Each structure stands twice: as structure tokens, then as C-alpha cells.
Amino acid sequence: MSEKIFDELQKLYDNSKVGALVQEICEYYATRAGYEDSSYEDEIEPTEIVESAYILFCLQSREQILDEFALVRKKYPALYEPVGNFHNTLLVNMDYSRLESECATRIAGYAKDTTEKEVLSHVESLARSSENLSEGLDKFYSWLHTRSR
């Protein structure tokens, strides 16, 4: 990871205007881009599951998340570069039901005996009942691990 990315990550964590979920997403993309040997793939979940879960939780508070990414783009350009495509995906899908459905289907395909409807229900429930979206995402992964193949 470059020194510039590391410095911007430190500043991002100190910025109270950017929530924990956006901070986590920025770190995920920034550090993933820094590995040349794909060793970042030691994640428990495959990349497509992680990215789909991020999208589903971002959609729960889309406007706020978009504002936070706009701030990242403005204040932390080196950090924004690797996460820019993710942000654009959220930005351009104004009718996000198709995007939501694609992500839920991807996750349901990973989880044993799980439907798209169950995935969406858990995301919505955990996003509402958790203190913040990042905490809800952690609980979602715990639930997902009980369903994994």
C-alpha cells in the first residue's frame, strides 16, 4: 500500500463525517489494490459476496452513503481512486431494485438453502436494528456463515 493511501486512510478514520461502513469499504478497495499477488483473497467470503453485501447495506441509506463517498472523492483522491467504480455503481443505479436483486441473488447462490428474499429481509432487518450499517454488515456475515456451503 502506498504511503499516500495509508496517510489518507488515517485521515479518513479521523473524519467524523464519514461513517464506519464507507471507511471499511474504502479500506477494502484501497488495500486490495495494493496487493499484486492476490493474497487479499484470504477473505472468508469471495470478492463478489463482499462487494454484493457492501452494495446491499449501502442501499439501505443510499443518499447518506453517496454524500460520504462524494466527501471521500473531494478530500481523499488517492483513496477514492480504487473505490470510484463502486461509488459509480451506487450513483448510476437510480432505480436500484435491479442492482439489489442481482446482489441478493449472488449472495443467495453462495448460501445454502437461502432465497433472494431471505437475503434482502436479513439485510433490511439488520440495517434497521443495528447501531450502524457496519455493525449490521458484521451481523449479516455471521448469519451468512451459518448458511454457507
Q: List pLDDT tens digits, range 89-138.
A: 999 987 889 999 999 999 999 988 999 999 999 999 999 999 999 999 99
For residues 35-74, one letter each, b for 16 or more C-beta atoms within 10 angstroms of the residue's C-beta and e for the rest, the string is eeeeeeeeeebeeebbbbbbbbbbbbbeeebeebbebbee
Reported pTM: 0.87
Q: Which is nearest to 26 in space by CA: 78, 64, 63?
A: 78
The helix/strand/coil state of 104 is helix
DSSP β-bridge partners for residue 148: 111
Range(s) of the domain holding residue 100: 3-147
Residue 65: which residues within 8 A CB-CB, separation 6 or more?
A: 19, 21, 22, 58, 90, 133
The domain total for the chain is 1
